Amino acid sequence: MRWVDAWNDVYDIIRGRREVPCMLPDWSIISVDECLGWLQQSVYEGYLVRVEEGWVGHRRGVIAHRCQPDAEQQAAE
């Protein structure tokens, strides 16, 4: 997924709320603005990214994922 598409998904999840937590694959919790930067940087580094809505602590938030392109192909086989 392109980082722009991932950003659109984040905005769909947060629905205008700014105090929404975002959890990264290493379990760290960051702000939405930091998450957007992380998604963009991950794509520039060659990762595939996706986001989903989920529980981050005791709040609804964004859960971010990334994987190497070849890892996604291997998972499909």
pLDDT score recorded for residue 71: 64
Euclidean distance between CA atoms 70 and 23, whole angstroms: 23
Give the strand order in the sheet containing 59-67.
29-30, 22-23, 59-67, 48-56
Segment 16-41 shows an average pLDDT of 95
User: What is the β-pairing status of strands 22-23 and 59-67?
Assistant: parallel
Task: For the chain, state the CA radius of gyration.
Answer: 12
Look up the domain containing 57 and give its range.
3-76
pLDDT score recorded for residue 39: 97
Per the structure, the count of domains in the chain is 1
pLDDT digits (tens, 9 = 90+) for 50-63: 999 999 999 999 99
